[in-house]
């Protein structure tokens, strides 16, 4: 799956490669280095097993469209994940690493 994802990324126009969300399990360990090589700026990655529901994309993109910071995007994703999974926001934040 990793190679298929990277092949799809490489076919995107250059502008679409600049900022990216990756919603699958363990994306930080699999995708951080390849995304860096492609000069992409990951907005949201994951560091554990998780349910990649569309609610995450919805809530994080809403913040991104308002020029929100990575911290705000992570917070929005954490809140959405917490609500969906019926866990605390603190617990949900452990899924999404803080990015620079």
Q: Taking a C-beta distance cutoff of 8 angstroms, is the pair 26, 72 a contact?
A: no
- Report residue 19's pLDDT band, with 50, 70 and 90 as the boundaries: low
Residues 6+ apart with CB under 8 A from 35: 9, 20, 22, 42
Candidate ranges 8-12, 46-50, 77-81; pick with highest mean pLDDT: 77-81
Is 48's pLDDT higher than 60? yes
Read off the pLDDT of each residue in 51-70 and give the average, rounded to a whole number: 89
- Delimit the domains of the chain by residue range: 17-93
What's residue 21's pLDDT?
64
CB 83 within 8 A of CB 93: no
Give the residue carrying structure tokens 């990793």: 2
28-37, 43-52, 57-66, 68-77, range with the lowest pLDDT: 28-37
User: Could you give the C-alpha distances from 31 to 37, 73, 76, in angstroms and in order?
Assistant: 10, 18, 21
Lookup: tokens for 23: 């919603």
Q: What is the DSSP letter of 18?
A: S
Here the tokens at position 93 are 């934040």
């Amino acid at each position: 799956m990793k190679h298929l994802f990277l092949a799809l990324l490489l076919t995107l126009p250059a502008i679409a490669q600049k900022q990216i969300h990756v919603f699958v399990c363990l994306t930080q360990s699999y995708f951080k280095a390849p995304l860096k090589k492609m000069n992409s700026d990951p907005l949201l990655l994951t560091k554990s097993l998780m349910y990649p529901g569309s609610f995450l994309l919805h809530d994080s993109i809403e913040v991104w469209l308002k020029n929100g910071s990575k911290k705000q995007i992570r917070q929005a994703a954490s809140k959405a994940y917490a609500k969906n999974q019926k866990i605390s926001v603190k617990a949900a934040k452990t899924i999404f690493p803080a990015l620079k």
